[in-house]
Amino acid sequence: MKIALVGDRSFKTLLKKNLNKLNCEFIFLDELTFNILMEKSFDILIVINYFKNIPGNIIEYFKGGVFAIYIILDVETVYY
């Protein structure tokens, strides 16, 4: 199973430590390389602390069967 983590590195490190028990392969992305999601193959996307608006093409990609988890720490700055 491949898991993509997007967001603050400190939270990604914490999550990776806890999720390593699942024997998963992690794809680490940040806001600057968010568009690379279109080229990667993964089963689960976890977005942590993503402050910028999420591009519409990314939302459409999620509808294609990718399981996405959003952990929003600052709701006022996130737009859908």
What is the pLDDT at residue 77? 46
Measured CA to CA, the distance from residue 17 to residue 76 in angstroms comes to 29
What is the pLDDT at residue 80? 41
Task: Render pLDDT for 16-67 as a digit per residue (tens, 0 to 9).
Answer: 677 666 666 666 665 555 556 556 666 777 766 544 555 554 555 555 555 5
48 by DSSP, 3-state: which? strand
> Is 4 a residue whose pLDDT tops 60?
yes
| CA angle, 62 then 4 then 33, to 5° | 85
What is the pLDDT at residue 44? 73
Question: Residue 60 in contact with residue 38, Cβ under 8 Å?
Answer: no
The domain defined by 2-77 carries CATH number 3.30.1360:
no
